[in-house]
Chains A and B, each alone.
Chain A
Amino acid sequence: MPLQEELQNAPPAKLVVDHVTKIYRGNRQTVHALEDVSLNVAEGEFVCLLGPSGCGKSTLLNLIAGLEHPDSGELSADGEVITGPGRQRMVMFQEHALFPWLDVTENVLFGLNLKPHLTDEDRAGVARAFLEIVGLTQFAKASIHELSGGMKQRVALARALAPNPQVLLMDEPFAALDAMTREQLYEDLQKIQQKRRKTIIFVTHNVREAVCLGDRVLLFTPRPGKIRAEFKVDLPRPRDINDVEVAQLASAITQELKNLLQSTPL
């Protein structure tokens, strides 16, 4: 497959979560991480899953990734049932999860190397292109431990984007970063999303972050994990986390979240 073709964007996929329940059975207690959750995500949509810790939003992300399996219900991507991890759905974790024994470029190449029908030259070209997109061309040969937290997450983003997935699953990827770095990455992520339209599921507990990034914000409440409310965000892009409109909508959602949590005591 020639390089140009590989660099073209794969069409984003539609995701369907159909009455999914996930229960963790421990020795002492049973946790209903998700109960009867249904969700449709359109092609190229940016959906934020918002809620307090332990409300099942990360569980849902892992199920979509295929890293875990539901106790009942079904998940599908583009009409195909999800049975395990797949290259079409790449995950970005809160910890960067980069491999310390590889340099920056080799980390970006990891997923690409597992993709068949590519020459080594093509792979190198793709890796270069994505390092340029995240602005790390200068650090192509750097070791992971030499990078700052923000740079590590950029490499992780490049690594997730490089195999050209249809869906990008992000589990609080910026939570451990400082505010300034985070704001820069919001901007970058929106730019990338405009350039290479992906279906993105983004897990966060930060209301403003969710409003700033998402086309749609889904509000989760814990025990059992359920989607309790849904907000469409129709603000023009690119958005800034400090925009007045973002702040207004965020405070409305925060109020709603408080009401919901009061009705279900923690």
Chain B
Amino acid sequence: MIPTATPSPPSGARKKIRYSEPSVLSQTVSAVAFFAVLIGLWEYGSRSRWWNPVLIPAPLDIANYIIRSFHDGELLKACWVTIKRLMIGYVIGIALGIPLGLLTARFKFANNTLGVTALGLQTLPSVCWVPLSLLWFGQTETAMLFIVVMGTLWAVLLATDHGIRQIPPIYRRAAATMGSSGFHLLWHVLLPASLPHLVSGTKQGWAFAWRSLMAAEIYVTVLTGFGLGHLLHYGRELHAMDQVAAVMLVILLIGFAADKALFSPWERFLRKRWGLTV
């Protein structure tokens, strides 16, 4: 209950308890060792032709490609194009999704119309919007953004709607007796009270946006910018599998880093305040 009040067991008792975890250092060392051996085997396997290195390129070749394209700026430029699209689309999706979610939670009519639409469109993989998007916007940045927004918007809208609905009515009543109403109630009670849902909803929206943007970039060439998906696509066309594998690695790293940077702080806050594990 009280963090300071939990007594640490006497050292004599600790030895008897077998389920004590190994230290962080030894856990890290064993994990690193595992991957080192794996990559070593992979490298060795490619070199000694256990498989065709064109199909599964060796780790050193992949590293080589990354260093080379890093130097000629190709990789960084593609990263930037992709991240920019993702961020702008994602921000638009959230900026639309949260207010619309508030609207559907508040008004029956909005829920019966927009809410139902959202529920339907959320099940549609947003890469399915590519043909229409190209028709409407041409081979432009807008077409790409549209696909990202469609990936984000519905998930965020539904999460907001759901988050607002599950707020215990007592919070509203307590806030009302203390003189909170209107915008104050929304900003200081309703939005924070639905934070656990908002975090998981925006996280889901992020995942959808990221996947659909990659699909769109592989699928469509846009003349205004050459993203990671295009790099992947042309890697295949040129049979440069080291390029394909390297770009896959970069995509994975960006997704991982974004998850840590965007969501970890919120999840830490939820754990600390609510005592929730998300």
Chain A residues with a Cβ under 8 A of chain B: 65-67, 85-87, 89-91, 93, 95, 97, 99-103, 110-111, 114-115, 139, 142-148, 159, 163
Residues of A within 8 A of B192 (CB): 99, 101-102
Query: Contact: A101 with B179, CB < 8 Å?
Result: no
User: Known contacts A91-B173, A93-B173, A114-B184; is A146 also within 8 Å of B178 by CB?
Assistant: no
User: Known contacts A99-B193, A101-B192, A101-B273; is A111 also within 8 Å of B179 by CB?
Assistant: yes
Q: How far is the CB of B152 from chain A (nearest CB, A)?
A: 24
Query: Contact: B177 with A99, CB < 8 Å?
Result: no
Query: Contact: B178 with A97, CB < 8 Å?
Result: no
Max chain A Cβ within 10 angstroms of own Cβ: one of B1, B177, B272: B177
Residues of B within 8 A of A91 (CB): 173-174, 177
Residue of A nearest to B170 (CB): A97
Query: Contact: B1 with A147, CB < 8 Å?
Result: yes
Q: How far is the CB of A131 from chain B (nearest CB, A)?
A: 15
Number of interchain pairs (Cβ within 8 Å): 72
Q: How far is the CB of A188 from chain B (nearest CB, A)?
A: 19
User: Known contacts A99-B193, A101-B274; is A114 also within 8 Å of B178 by CB?
Assistant: yes
B248 in the interface (beta carbon within 8 A): no
A157 to B208, CA, bound (A): 45
A145 to B168, CA, bound (A): 16
Cβ contacts A to B, 22 pairs, < 8 Å? A65-B177, A66-B177, A67-B176, A85-B176, A87-B178, A90-B177, A91-B177, A93-B173, A93-B174, A95-B170, A102-B192, A102-B273, A103-B273, A110-B180, A110-B188, A114-B178, A143-B274, A145-B273, A146-B3, A146-B275, A147-B1, A148-B1
B195 in the interface (beta carbon within 8 A): yes
User: Known contacts A114-B184, A143-B272, A145-B275; is A97 also within 8 Å of B171 by CB?
Assistant: yes
B189 in the interface (beta carbon within 8 A): yes
B2 in the interface (beta carbon within 8 A): yes
Q: How far is the CB of B276 from chain A (nearest CB, A)?
A: 9
Query: Contact: A114 with B1, CB < 8 Å?
Result: no
Residues of A within 8 A of B177 (CB): 65-67, 85, 89-91
A90 to B3, CA, bound (A): 31
A163 to B179, CA, bound (A): 10
Residues of A within 8 A of B189 (CB): 99
A95 to B275, CA, bound (A): 18
A91 to B193, CA, bound (A): 20
Query: Contact: B180 with A114, CB < 8 Å?
Result: yes
Q: How far is the CB of B139 from chain A (nearest CB, A)?
A: 45
A102 to B150, CA, bound (A): 34
Query: Contact: B178 with A111, CB < 8 Å?
Result: yes
Top 3 nearest A-B pairs (CB, nearest first) are A145-B275, A111-B178, A97-B174
A95 to B171, CA, bound (A): 10
Residue of A nearest to B173 (CB): A67
A139 to B180, CA, bound (A): 25
Residues of B within 8 A of A103 (CB): 273
Query: Contact: B176 with A93, CB < 8 Å?
Result: no
User: Known contacts A95-B170, A146-B1; is A100 also within 8 Å of B273 by CB?
Assistant: yes
A93 to B188, CA, bound (A): 20
Partner of B179, one of A85, A99, A139, A147: A85
Query: Contact: A101 with B176, CB < 8 Å?
Result: no
A67 to B169, CA, bound (A): 12
Partner of B195, one of A89, A101, A115, A145: A101
A90 to B173, CA, bound (A): 11
Query: Contact: B173 with A143, CB < 8 Å?
Result: no
A93 to B173, CA, bound (A): 10
Query: Contact: A97 with B1, CB < 8 Å?
Result: no
Partner of A163, one of B173, B178, B273: B178
Query: Contact: B179 with A146, CB < 8 Å?
Result: no
User: Known contacts A97-B174, A114-B184; is A86 also within 8 Å of B2 by CB?
Assistant: no
A130 to B40, CA, bound (A): 64
Residues of B within 8 A of A145 (CB): 273-275
